[in-house]
Structure 1
Amino acid sequence: MAEPQPDPPLSPPPTNYISLEELRKHNTPQDLWISIHGKVYNVTNWLQHHPGGSLPLLNLAGQDVTDAFLAFHPKHASTFLHPFFTGSYLSNHTVSEVSRDYRNLLSTFTRMGLFERNRGVIASLFFIFFMFCVSVYGVLFGQTGLVRVGSGGLMGFLWIQSGWIGHDSGHYMIVSSKKVNRVLQILSGNVLAGISIGWWKWNHNAHHIACNSLDFDPDLQHLPFFVVSSRFFNSIFSCFYERFMKFDSFSRFLVSYQHWTFYPVMCFARLNLFAQSFMLLFSNRKVPDRGTEILGLIAFWIWYPLLVSCLPNWGERVLFVLASFSVTGIQHVQFCLNHFSAKVYVGPPNATDWCEKQCNGTLDVSSSSWMDWFHGGLQFQVEHHLFPRLPRCHLRRISPFVKDLCKKHNLPYNCVSFWKANVLTIRTLRNAALQARDVSSPVPKNLVWEAVNTHG
C-alpha cells in the first residue's frame, strides 16, 4: 500500500491591488476608504465613532493618509486598524523623500521618549490655581478699585493659561490617566473658561487637517468681520459650517476697516467662542459626554457672574469684565499671527503633501525661552503642526531638526519676531481691506469687482 502523501502547503491568498483613482471614488460618508502605508481600509462604520470627530476622515476621504495618521495617533493606534482592512493594497504605492524623512523624525522623537515625557504640567496647574485664588481675593478683599479691576486682568491671564492646558490635553495625554486627562479638559475649558472642549476639538482638528484652506479651515472663516484673501469676496462655501459665507454690503463695510478693528474685535472674540460652544452642545451633532460639557458651562456661568456681582458698583463690574476679556484677547491675537499672513489655498486638503501644507500655512514667532509660558509653546507653530502630539515643552528642542528638514526639501520655515508677526498680519488685513473698498466702487472695474459681480 502506498504511503499517504502529505497535504500540499497552503498557498498564500492572492493579494488584491487597487489604483489611487479607484481609492478616490470611495470618498463619501456612506462609502469612505483611506490608505495607510499602502493598505486600504474601509472606515465608513468608524466615521461616527472616531475620537477626533468625523471631519478629519471626511476631509481626507479616498486618499493615502499615512503622514496625517502618524502625526495624530500614537504608535499603538495601528493595532486597531485590522478590522477595517479591505484586503486590498494600493498599487504603485510610493513614499516621497520628504515623507520618508518626516517619518524618520517621528521615529527618532519616539525613541527619544519625547512623546511620553511632559514636563511642567503640574507647575502650570498650580500657577492657574494660584492666579484664580489671587483674582478672587482681589475682588473680595481689594481695598481700591484699581486692585479689583486689576484682578479682572489677572483673570484674563488665567484664561490664557487654562487655554494652553486645554489645547495640550486635546492633542495628547497631559497626565497618565485618561479619566484625569478628561477631568482637566472640562475644568480648564468648560468650568474655568466657559468654552466647550468638545467644540474646541471639533474646530481645532479641522484646522490642523486643512491648515489654511479658505473653505475647509474654520480658523480662517471670520466673515463678516475679517478676511485674509479677496477670494472670500465670491461668497465661499464653508465645508466646516456647511453654509455659504455671504459677502454682502455689511461684510464689505466691516472688512474695509478690518485692519483698524482687528485688535478691538480680538478683545471681545471670546463672546464668539461662548456662542459657538452653546450652539454645538445644543445642536443635533454628536458630542461625547454632552451632559458633562453642559454642566461645566453652567458652572462657569454661575461662578463668573457671581464673582463680578461681588464688586461694589456697576462701573467696576464693567471694567472687570472688560479687563478680563481684553487681556485674554492677547491669546486670540496669538492664534491669528500664526496663520493670517501665511499662504492660503482653496479646496480640500491633500494628504500626499502633508508636510508642504503644514509648513506653507504656518508662521513661527521667535522669542526667548523664558517667554514659552506666555506663548504656550505655540510660537513654534511649524513644529506643532508637523508634530501635534508632541508636548510643548519639547517644541524648542526639536526646532533645529525641523529647520533641517525644511532646508533639505526646500520647504518654507517662516520665523519672525512677535512685532513683525503683528505687522505682517495687519498688512494682510489691510491689503484685503483695500481690495474690498475697490469692490464698493464700480468705477474703475478691476478684476476683483468683476469676479464678485459675475458670481451672481
Structure 2
Amino acid sequence: MARNELLGKPTYISLQELQKHNKRVAIDGKIYDVSKWANHHPGGEFPLISLAGQEVTEAFLAFHPPTAYNRLNTFFTGSYLCDCAVSDVSRDYQNLFSELTEMGFFEYKGCGVLLMISLIIVMLCVSVCGVLFSDSSCVCVCCGGLMGFLWIQSGWISHDSCHYQIMANCNWNWFVQILSGNFLSSISMEWWKWNHNAHHLACNSLDFDPDLQHLPFFVVSSKFFTSLTSCFHDRKMNFDSFARFLVSYQHWSYCPGICLARFNLFARSFFLLLSNRKVPNRKIELLGLLVFWIWYPLLVSCLPNWGERVLFVIASFSVTGIQHVQFTFNHFSASVYIGQPTSHDWFEKQTSGTLDVESPS
C-alpha cells in the first residue's frame, strides 16, 4: 500500500500502472480492488477478468443499477486515475444515461411486461387448442407457426429480464426469466447470463466474445477449426470427437449453422447445467428444461398422424428461426478484432457494424 494511502491522502496512478493489475478497475476515475468480489460477482468472474486494469465506467453503467454505486466504497483503494480520457461518443453516452436516469425512465417497470406475458399466454392457449380440437392440416401448420412466434416473444422477455430488472420486484423478475426461458423455451437463463454478459463486455473480440464461438456447432473464424478453446471456452470444456468433426467442417457457420441455431442453444444450456461449474439455481434450471421437453413433445404427440406432427415441428422451428437469422445479422456483421477488449472505446464497439477484421492495436 502506498504511503499516501496509509496517511489517508489520495494517490494518483497512471493508466499504464493500472494495467499491471489483473483485479483492479477504475470507475469514474476511482480505483477499486475487486479481487475479493470476483467469486461473488453476480455476473461471474469472467467480466471482471476481461476488463481488468482498465477504466470501466461505461460497462459499469450499462450493467448495473444506480444502487450498485453504494457497494463500491467497500472496494475503493483510495487511489485515483490521473490520466483518464473519454472519447466524445463515450461522453455523449454517459450524459444520455444520466439524463434518462434523472427523468426516471428506468423506474417504470411491469405494465408492458405483463401485457407481453398475457399475449404469450394467449398464443400458447390458441396453439394448444388448435392442436387438440382441430383436424385440419392448415390449422396444424398455423398453430406450429404461432408456437414459433411465442418463442420469439418469450426470447425477448428473457433477454430483457436478464439484462436488467423489468419487474418491480427482483423475485418476480427471476420468475419471469425461468418461466419465459426455461419452461417455455428450453433455454437456460443462467447459461444465457453467463454467455451474454461476457459478449457485451467483450463485444466482437475473437478471443473473448462467446457469441462468436457457439461451440461445438458454429464459429466465425478458421482459428477454431483446429482448437475448441478460447479465452472464454477454456480447456475445462471437453467435447467428443464428433463435436470436433462438426467444428472442423469449414462451412458449418453458414446455412446449416443457422438451421441448427436453436438446437445449439438447447445443447449449450444442458452443457453448462451438467458441467462442474458453479451454477446458481441449477436444480430449478434443469427442472425448467425437463418440463419443456415433457410438454412440447406431449403436445406434438396429440396430433393425429406423423405427417402433421412433422409439419407442426417444422413450422414452429422455422418461424422462430427468423429471430436467429436476425441475431446472425446483428452479431456477425460487426467488426471483429483480436485480443482483450478495451474500455476506452467500449460503447463504439457495441454499435459498430462492418465486416472488417481489425488487427490488434
Q: TM-score normalised by the shorter chain: which range applies?
A: 0.7 to 0.9
Given that 2:152 and 2:323 are in contact with CA atoms closer than 8 Å, whether structure 1 keeps it comes out as: yes
Task: List gaps (5 residues or longer) in structure 2.
Answer: 1-6
Given that 1:268 and 1:325 are in contact with CA atoms closer than 8 Å, whether structure 2 keeps it comes out as: no
1:154 to 142, 146, 167: 146
Q: Which amino acid counterpart does residue 289 of structure 1 have in structure 2?
A: N
1:268 Cα deviation after fit:
2.9
Distance (whole Å) between structure 2 residues aligned to residue 134 and residue 294 of structure 1: 27
Equivalence for 2:157: 165
2:12 alignment partner, SS class: strand
Q: Which amino acid counterpart does residue 161 of structure 1 have in structure 2?
A: Q
Distance (whole Å) between structure 1 residues aligned to residue 297 and residue 218 of structure 2: 30
1:22 to 17, 34, 59: 17
Equivalence for 2:4: none
The alpha-carbon distance between structure 1 residues 266 and 93, as it changes in their structure 2 partners (threshold 3 A), is: closer
Equivalence for 1:309: 301
Greater alpha carbon shift after TM alignment, 88-97 vs 53-62: 88-97
1:284 to 276, 299, 304: 276
1:124 to 112, 116, 121: 116
1:13 to 8, 17, 36: 8
Greater alpha carbon shift after TM alignment, 103-112 vs 141-150: 141-150
Q: Which amino acid counterpart does residue 346 of structure 1 have in structure 2?
A: I
Distance (whole Å) between structure 2 residues aligned to residue 300 and residue 266 of structure 1: 22
The alpha-carbon distance between structure 1 residues 131 and 267, as it changes in their structure 2 partners (threshold 3 A), is: farther
Task: List gaps (5 residues or longer) in structure 1.
Answer: 1-11, 363-413, 415-427, 433-456
2:327 alignment partner, SS class: helix
1:98 alignment partner, SS class: helix
Q: Which amino acid counterpart does residue 23 of structure 1 have in structure 2?
A: L
Matches within 5 A, 1:55-134: 55-118=46-109, 120-134=112-126
Equivalence for 1:141: 133
Q: Does 1:188 align with 2:188?
A: no
Q: Which has the larger radius of gyration?
A: 1
2:196 to 204, 212, 215: 204
Matches within 5 A, 1:260-409: 262=255, 264-360=256-352, 362=353
1:43 Cα deviation after fit:
0.8
Distance (whole Å) between structure 2 residues aligned to residue 307 and residue 354 of structure 1: 45
1:40 alignment partner, SS class: strand
Equivalence for 1:421: none
Distance (whole Å) between structure 1 residues aligned to residue 154 and residue 145 of structure 2: 14
Greater alpha carbon shift after TM alignment, 219-228 vs 280-289: 219-228
Distance (whole Å) between structure 2 residues aligned to residue 344 and residue 234 of structure 1: 19
Distance (whole Å) between structure 2 residues aligned to residue 249 and residue 127 of structure 1: 42
Q: Which amino acid counterpart does residue 336 of structure 2 have in structure 1?
A: V
Given that 1:215 and 1:236 are in contact with CA atoms closer than 8 Å, whether structure 2 keeps it comes out as: no
1:17 alignment partner, SS class: strand
The alpha-carbon distance between structure 1 residues 190 and 250, as it changes in their structure 2 partners (threshold 3 A), is: closer
If the length of structure 2 is used for normalisation, what is the TM-score?
0.88
Equivalence for 1:386: none
1:224 Cα deviation after fit:
6.7
1:227 Cα deviation after fit:
4.7
1:185 Cα deviation after fit:
0.4
**CA distances 1:395-424 after superposition (whole Å, capped 9, x unpaired):** xxxxxxxxxxxxxxxxxxx8xxxxxxxxxx
Q: Which amino acid counterpart does residue 345 of structure 2 have in structure 1?
A: D
Equivalence for 2:3: none
1:250 Cα deviation after fit:
6.3
The alpha-carbon distance between structure 1 residues 168 and 223, as it changes in their structure 2 partners (threshold 3 A), is: closer
The alpha-carbon distance between structure 1 residues 162 and 36, as it changes in their structure 2 partners (threshold 3 A), is: same
1:111 Cα deviation after fit:
1.7
1:253 Cα deviation after fit:
4.4
1:280 alignment partner, SS class: helix
**CA distances 1:349-408 after superposition (whole Å, capped 9, x unpaired):** 101211222222x4xxxxxxxxxxxxxxxxxxxxxxxxxxxxxxxxxxxxxxxxxxxxxx
1:234 Cα deviation after fit:
7.2
Given that 2:217 and 2:264 are in contact with CA atoms closer than 8 Å, whether structure 1 keeps it comes out as: no
